[in-house]
């Protein structure tokens, strides 16, 4: 955890002056969009197709201009969760983020750090390269080596593909994300213990941990999301707090918060239920409805949490907003809930973010007092129904978008009779119902360690989609522990 993954490296240059950089960003974004669209078209069409030809020409023009201006190879590089064009970081926005993510996923899928187009690139080479790059096949061996062999065989001389460094390889990223997840639980447990024994919490370590969680979300969002399906850790509050922290950080990122704010938000979310340390376990784990007295004690946890955090604040670099979040995460949009506030404007933005993800994680987790555990999709639709009174509508909308129609970790039934777990969302909003899934049973319902398949893939013979989701299933009803499939990816 001592690395500082956001530090600039030699591969990343500082953009030159204002106007130049603006023009570069604009041209860079246009190039990225063309690359993305052509890659998508290459998946479903032959290069003779009109749409492919048109987009192909547009991308070639963009590249040709860049090669002429820069007089050096044009490289599209992935570095610490960002995309660099000729060493300059391209800036994404809420609207363009799905494209950035999709291009990064495609590079990672092929185990690449960079694709480089060299001066002398011809139109025909680009048209031969894109279908090879876009092709999906799951054979044994290194995806990079296979791609390189195909490029050589197609006599493409002016496109280079650079192999990903071991650190950025998918299995290393997954392993490291899983490690951070469990480290967070251990750290929170230790913090709770120290707090109980009136020793200080090491907020400095919490901050380091949050920076690391932030970096993992940037690098590997879908896998980190998958980990939030882990619900079976014996100590509910610990597991819940780590999930809330991850989901809040990812949501805050979509809402446009910067890195510093996201680290603070992560810390605030991490300690949101600190006050529950004071709530007796008989009340926390009571299977029946709480009586008035017990409810009153339960509803004290925001005050108790805020109190503890006030004591911690001082010199310990604890963000002030953590105190707000502890205090305000049960206040509803219509100001009902607890504690009583009288003006919406007094409720901190961070508290409204944590409110959404806290509710989501709580109702998707089995608890003795909860008659029904909601699947991830059911939880989102319930939350949308209650949106006007319970949640800030804009934050909720961003959350629903972030999770997708079938959120990562959903168990789904396919029209082939197979069952699958959603591993990653489709970044193209038109294909939102076609995520990438891992097959976990065959058509007869026998458990298998199946392939990871993209539901946007079509059967080459018929041109139809090979598999389609019929609906979400409740993992508890089928005895499926979704988190196992994510942890298996980290081994």
Residues in contact with Fe ion by the rule CB under 5 A? 273, 358
Contact 425, 278 (CB under 8 A): no
Secondary element (H or E) of residue 79: strand 74-79
Q: Is 162 helix (H, G, I), strand (E, B) or coil?
A: strand
Taking the least distance from each CB to Fe ion, the nearer of 59 and 245 is 245
Number of Cβ within 10 Å of residue 20's Cβ equals 10
| 219: Cα separation from own chain's centroid | 9
- Number of C-beta neighbours around residue 202 at 10 A: 15
| DSSP secondary structure string for all residues of 354-420 | HHHHHHHHHHTS--TT-S-PPPHHHHHHHHHHTHHHHS-HHHHHHHHHHH-SS-TT-EEEETTS-EE
Any idea what the Cα angle at residue 133 is, between residues 130 and 138, rounded to 5°? 145
User: In the bound complex, what is the minimum distance in angstroms from residue 271's beta carbon to Fe ion?
Assistant: 11
CA dihedral 376, 377, 380, 381 (to 10 degrees): -150
The least distance separating Fe ion from the CB of residue 272, rounded to whole angstroms, comes to: 6
- What one-character DSSP code corresponds to residue 441? B
Nearest to 136 by CA among 123, 150, 125: 150
Return the number of other C-beta atoms located less than 10 Å from residue 278's C-beta.
16
């Amino acid at each position: 955890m001592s690395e500082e993954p956001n530090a600039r490296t030699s591969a990343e240059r500082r953009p030159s002056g204002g106007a130049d950089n603006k023009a570069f960003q604009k041209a860079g974004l246009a190039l990225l969009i063309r690359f993305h669209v052509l890659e998508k078209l290459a998946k479903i069409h032959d290069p003779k197709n009109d749409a492919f030809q048109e987009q192909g020409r547009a991308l070639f023009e963009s590249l040709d201009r860049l090669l002429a201006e820069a007089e050096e190879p044009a490289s599209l590089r992935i570095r610490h969760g960002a995309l660099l064009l000729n060493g300059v970081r391209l800036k994404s926005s809420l609207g363009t983020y799905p494209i950035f993510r999709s291009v990064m996923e495609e590079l990672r899928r092929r185990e690449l750090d960079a694709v480089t187009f060299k001066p002398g690139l011809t139109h025909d080479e680009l048209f031969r390269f894109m279908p090879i790059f876009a092709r999906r096949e799951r054979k044994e061996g290194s995806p990079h080596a296979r791609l390189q062999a195909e490029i050589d065989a197609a006599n493409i001389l002016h496109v280079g593909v650079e192999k990903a460094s071991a650190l950025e390889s998918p299995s290393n990223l997954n392993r490291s994300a899983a490690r951070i997840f469990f480290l967070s639980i251990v750290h929170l447990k230790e913090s709770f213990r120290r707090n109980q024994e009136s020793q200080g919490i090491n907020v400095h370590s919490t901050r380091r941990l949050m920076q690391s969680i932030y970096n993992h979300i940037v690098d590997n969002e879908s896998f980190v999301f998958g980990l939030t399906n882990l619900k079976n850790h014996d100590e509910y509050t610990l597991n819940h707090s780590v999930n809330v922290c991850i989901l809040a950080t990812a949501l805050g990122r979509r809402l446009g918060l910067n890195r510093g704010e996201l680290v603070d938000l992560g810390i605030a979310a991490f300690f949101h239920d600190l006050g529950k340390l004071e709530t007796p376990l008989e009340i926390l784990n009571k299977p029946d409805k709480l009586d008035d007295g017990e409810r009153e004690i339960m509803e004290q946890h925001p005050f108790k949490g805020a109190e503890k955090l006030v004591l911690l604040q001082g010199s310990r670099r604890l963000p002030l907003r953590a105190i707000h979040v502890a205090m305000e995460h049960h206040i509803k949009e219509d100001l009902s809930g607890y504690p009583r506030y009288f003006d919406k404007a007094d409720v901190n933005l961070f508290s409204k973010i944590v409110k959404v993800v806290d509710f989501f994680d709580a109702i998707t987790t089995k608890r003795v007092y909860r008659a029904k555990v909601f699947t991830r999709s059911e939880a989102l639709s319930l939350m949308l129904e209650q949106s006007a009174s319970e949640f800030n509508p804009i934050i909720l909308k961003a959350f629903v978008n972030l999770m997708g129609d079938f959120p990562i970790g959903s168990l789904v039934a396919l029209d082939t009779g197979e069952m699958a777990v959603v591993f990653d969302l489709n970044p193209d909003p038109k294909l939102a119902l076609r995520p990438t899934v891992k097959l976990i049973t065959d058509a007869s319902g026998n458990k298998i360690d199946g392939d990871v398949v993209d539901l946007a893939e079509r059967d080459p013979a018929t041109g139809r989609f090979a598999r389609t989701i019929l609906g979400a299933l409740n993992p508890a009803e089928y005895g499926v522990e979704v988190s196992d499939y994510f942890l298996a990816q980290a081994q």
